[in-house]
Structure 1
Amino acid sequence: MTDGRRAAPVSGMSALRAVGHGFMEFFRDLTQRSPARFAIIIFLSLILVFTGLFSLPVAAANGQVTPFADAFFTAVSTICVTGLATVDMATHWSPFGHVLVFVGVQIGALGVLTLASILGLVISRRLGLRAKLIAASDSNPLRTHGGPVNEGQTVQLGQIGSLLATVALSTLVIEGAIAILLYPGLLVAGVPWNVALWEAPFYAAMSFTNTGFTPNAEGLAPFRHDYFFLTVLMAGVFLGSIGFPVIYTLLRQRWRVRRWSLHAKLTLITTVTLFFLGGVVFLILEYDNLLTLGTNDAWDTTFQAFFLSAMTRSGGFAILDIGQLNQSSLLVACMLMFVGGGSASTAGGIKVTTLAVIALAVISEAKGRASNQAFGRRIPSDVLRVALSVVAWGSTIVAISTIIITQITKADLGDVLFDVISGFATVGLSTGLTAQLPDPAIYVLAITIVMGRVGTVTLAAAVAASSRSQLYSLPVERPIVG
């Protein structure tokens, strides 16, 4: 009898060990066999967890339960580092709620694939080959699609640990430096020193993560003419939008431009070009608009135009009333937002390298070149195919979401399109429509944000858990194009 009674706990412990072992084996298999799908599972789980936290009475300033739609959308916007909101972010949330926002954007800034790689490494104690390839895709997402890849153009497998360390260290150092630079500006604006100790790192996090939330009800209005403060914010947005692989390259090669990877060169050149081009276009379109830039002096008008150009790339901070922009300016902003920032960055959109690859393909076709090339390097044809697929899927998502939300709200098409693209590209600028959306439209926009943040390449890799190789070739026939 005694032996029997003692055997039961042992049997129970064995069962628990078996369950735990099976649980760990399941996740180990998932991280190695389909790391992209595992990333999405973790990403969606984080959204659900933060939805529950935002729903707590202690998270709201009034001590009441936040409606589920608003809590869910805030969780999505926070984890996806988007910046759109259905509630007043500065006044609705309690100090605990603001801490949740701060922590959420930091988690979101790590990125879906980087977060999945770290968690997979913790669970399985090692990164499998496919997980390493997916993690390496932070510097070249096309690795998930196979095909020959020049190792000199990307972070190699042995350097993935260094890349992940760079992500965490660069985030900490850059946000710390930005916070130190912003602190005096907050004091000059009349913010108490103890409050500024919180707002400085909050603004730093919101700029580097390209989120755009502000901790005060007035937003950036008190800093409208503090050009140093606004310039620091733009610098934070720029560093966050170029992507961790570019930061990694710059840290290793610094000013040895010839050793920069092709990805880094295309990202920096396209980003700077779009910034200056956007600033000039906004200056031309808005200089006589009395509701935006028309009443400012020449310097302030120029600065605000370029600040708007930087924020439409995914920054999300706004000084001007976006709803008062000319329709032509809203269209230009939509184009800039749709492109977004660099790959593996805190920015969204189809990414600047996607635009660069397509533009290079057009130039190569016009010159009659047999291959797409830049800076003495040939870009494989599968890169162009994926770039076109990203644009096609992104356009489809935006179109479907715009149609559904327009049908639900009966709102102006231009306002809906702007906010949908802002959500898809995780920008955070709004014409004012998002705050007025009914619950069904809120859920549609939230799904759009998730799909935009996860990325079409990652989504495709998750759906296609295993790649299939075709061992035969079909006959060639050319349809008429154009």
Structure 2
Amino acid sequence: MIAGGFGLTILIGALLLILPASSAEGVWTGFLDALFTSTSAVCVTGLIVVDTAVYWSPFGKVVILLLIQVGGLGIMLFAALIGLALARRLSVRSRIITGAETKAEGVGDLRGLALGILATTLTIEAAVAAVLFVRFLTGYGYDVGRAAWHAVFHAVSSFNNAGFALYTDSLMGFVSDPWVCLPISAAIILGGLGFPVLRQLRRELRVPLHWTMNTRIMLAGTAVLLVGGTIYTALMEWDNAGTLGPLDPASRVLAAFFHSVQARTAGFNSVDIAQMHDETWLGTDVLMLIGGGPAGTAGGIKVTTFAVLFFIMWAELRGSSTVNVFGKRLSRAVHREAITVVLVAIGAVMAAVIAILAMTDLDLDRVLFEVVSAFGTVGMSAGITAALPDAAQIILILLMFLGRLGPLTLGTALAFRERPVAYELPKERPAIG
């Protein structure tokens, strides 16, 4: 149901973007370009094959904005909200499916959960839009209408970690402006934490002892990745004349922090990604693959998955029989889930890289960057997306779809039904390492 809902929404979005009303020149848009853009919007990625600022008409940009909002909220959650509005109640099946998508612990209070997520989303987006509106109006001379439109579009795009911008160079024109970069970064971070974390922080912000393992891992992991990504980017790019080099020291730190935030699945850029050093690309690949939090607007394998693997490794190196995280024992079922997600992710990325390398003459580093960006639903680009052949763009579409749904969700949808087994085979242990 979840996979089908996303697929149907993408198809509807593509059909709307094909229409002449969606293009600035009033012409029909090719199906692949429309499908790629719709997938990128619904999967809140931000990779583009046509210039968003120039190619699409106001109607087309509104369609993209709506697709971003629907995709960020989640198809089943959006359907639940529509059901609540029309029927004032949810069926048991609807509650179970919505709970699966939102990672809810039960199905009893999904009405309150759905309305809470909607309220959180609109509140954060409104707050960021208000700050951006004032800045665009007073700092850049925009008229009221243009300032409001740009503020709302980028607030929605940032909270949903979509990375779509109304400027040809993304946000490079604001590289030294903290009043634009920091509100957008805050929205991205909050969206990337995941709705379960935001919900608990809203209720129990002052009671850390009540925080779940998921909340603790997300807050600690996010802080470590943001600080580490900022330091790494600054060290690698400090003297690069094509990126941070021309900026003053304060602006370099801001740009490095902004890049670290974007690599967590947002996809805006305030410096030229194509001019970065290879080692910066590789570090960004790692951040993009990890992504943000589960049941939120971020992609990647998720911070929690990465943390679980780290704690499993740490326990094994210490010879511990159990994996303990923040004073709690980790369920063995979570071990298998984390390993499955990572192996599927690595397999999908490697298969896509090999396929695209076979059909193009591009370098490995650029192809790897583009593929990881698609799977992590990041949207950062080394500048090759639009030039890729149709088959390669289709591969990126499939990767964005897989990355947004998650390997476990899509794998469950495609797998055969579980069959009970009335016996167990004898154990045997192969040599490891």
| Structure 1 length-normalised TM | 0.86
1:327 counterpart = 2:290: no
In the superposition, relative to structure 1, how do residues 439 and 124 fare at CA in structure 2: closer, same or farther (>3 Å)?
farther
Task: Check the 8 A contact 1:348/1:452 in 2, yes or no.
Answer: yes
- The answer as to whether partners of 1:371 and 1:379 remain within 8 angstroms in 2 is yes
Offset at residue 221 of structure 1 (A): 3.1
Residue 367 of structure 1 and its aligned partner are, at CA, apart by 2.0
Does 1:192 pair with 2:156? no
**1:272 shift after superposition:** 1.1
| Secondary structure of 2:265 counterpart | helix
The one-letter code sitting in structure 1 at the alignment partner of 2:229 is G
* Deviation (angstroms), 1:298: 1.9
Partner residue, 1:341 = 292
Equivalents in 1 of 2:411, 2:287: separation in Å? 24
Is the Cα–Cα contact under 8 Å of residues 40 and 112 in structure 1 kept in the other structure? no
Paired position in structure 2 for 1:26 = none
1:71 aligns with 2:21: no
Corresponding residue of 1:306: 257
The AA in structure 2 aligned to 1:182 is L
Q: CA RMSD in A?
A: 1.9
Residues 90 and 111 of structure 2 are in contact (CA less than 8 Å); yes or no, is this contact kept in structure 1? no
CA shift, 1:415, in A, is: 0.6
Q: Aligned residue for 2:119?
A: 169
Q: Does 1:183 align with 2:122?
A: no
Look up the match of 1:401. Answer: 352
The C-alpha deviation readout for 1:176-226, integer Å capped at 9, x for no partner, is 111001111112122222211111110100100111111233532332221
Structure 1 position 241 matched with structure 2 position 192: yes
From the CA coordinates, give the structure whose radius of gyration is larger.
1
Maintained 8 Å contact 1:132/1:160: yes
**What is the DSSP-based 3-state SS (H/G/I as helix, E as strand, rest coil) of the residue aligned with 1:428?**
coil
Partner of 1:352: 303
Is the contact between residue 194 and residue 294 of structure 2 (CA under 8 Å) also seen in structure 1?
yes
Amino acid at match of 2:379: G
Rounded Cα–Cα distance in structure 2 between residues aligned with 1:335 and 1:455: 17
Q: What 5-or-longer segments of structure 1 have no aligned partner?
A: 1-37, 141-153
**Could you tell me which residue of structure 1 aligns to residue 92 of structure 2?**
128
CA distance in 1, matches of 2:148, 2:248: 33
User: For 2:109, what is the secondary structure of its paired residue?
Assistant: helix
Q: CA deviation at 1:228?
A: 2.0
3-state SS, counterpart of residue 313 of structure 1: coil
Q: CA deviation at 1:77?
A: 0.6
What's the CA shift for 1:437? 1.4
Question: Is residue 164 of structure 2 the alignment partner of residue 213 of structure 1?
Answer: yes
Counterpart CA distance in 1 for 2:129 and 2:109 is 30
Aligned partners of 1:410 and 1:252: how far apart in 2?
A: 53
The answer for unaligned runs of 5 or more in structure 2 is none
Partners of 1:468 and 1:315 in 2: CA distance: 40
What is the CA–CA distance in structure 1 between the aligned matches of 2:29 and 2:331, rounded to whole Å?
50
Task: Tell me how many residue pairs correspond in the alignment.
Answer: 431
Distance 1:304 1:455 in 2: 30
Are the counterparts in 2 of residues 39 and 116 from structure 1 also a CA contact under 8 Å?
A: no
| Distance 1:125-1:166 versus aligned 2 partners, 3 A rule | closer
Would you say the 8 A contact 2:80–2:98 is kept in 1?
A: yes
CA 1:306 to 1:479, structure 2 compared with 1: closer, same or farther past 3 Å?
same
Between the aligned partners of 1:370 and 1:87, the Cα distance in structure 2 is: 53
Query: Which letter does structure 1 place at the counterpart of 2:279?
Result: S
**1:390 equivalent in structure 2:** 341
Residues 192, 297 of structure 2: 8 Å contact kept: yes
What residue number does 2:318 align with?
A: 367
Deviation for aligned residue 1:469 = 3.4
User: Which residue identity is paired with 2:330?
Assistant: I
The residue type paired with residue 69 of structure 1 is L
Deviations 1:109-157 (A, max 9, x none): 112453465578879964436x6455434564xxxxxxxxxxxxx6333
Question: Which one is further off, 278-287 or 185-194?
Answer: 185-194
SS in 2 for 1:283: helix
- Alignment check: 8 A CA contact 1:113 1:134 kept: yes
**Aligned pairs (5 A) from 1:245-324:** 245-324=196-275
Contact 1:266 1:353 in 2 (8 A): yes
CA distance in 2, matches of 1:136, 1:125: 15
Q: Distance in 1 between matches of 2:38 and 2:102?
A: 27
Q: 1:18 maps to what in 2?
A: none
Which moves more between the two structures, 464-473 or 307-316?
A: 464-473
Q: How big is the shift at 1:396?
A: 0.8
What's the TM-score once normalised by structure 2's chain length? 0.95
For 1:98-109, list aligned pairs within 5 A.
98-109=61-72
- Relative to structure 1, the CA distance from residue 222 to residue 397 in structure 2 (aligned partners, 3 Å threshold; closer, same or farther) is same
CA distance in 2, matches of 1:234, 1:200: 14
Distance 1:360 1:134 in 2: 30
Q: Does 1:159 align with 2:109?
A: yes
The equivalent position to 1:452 in structure 2, one of 403, 422, 432, is 403
Is the 2:89–2:111 contact (alpha carbons within 8 Å) kept by the matching residues of 1? no
Structure 2 residue corresponding to 1:419, chosen from 361, 370, 373: 370
> Once structures 1 and 2 are overlaid, which stretch shifts more, 212-221 or 369-378?
212-221
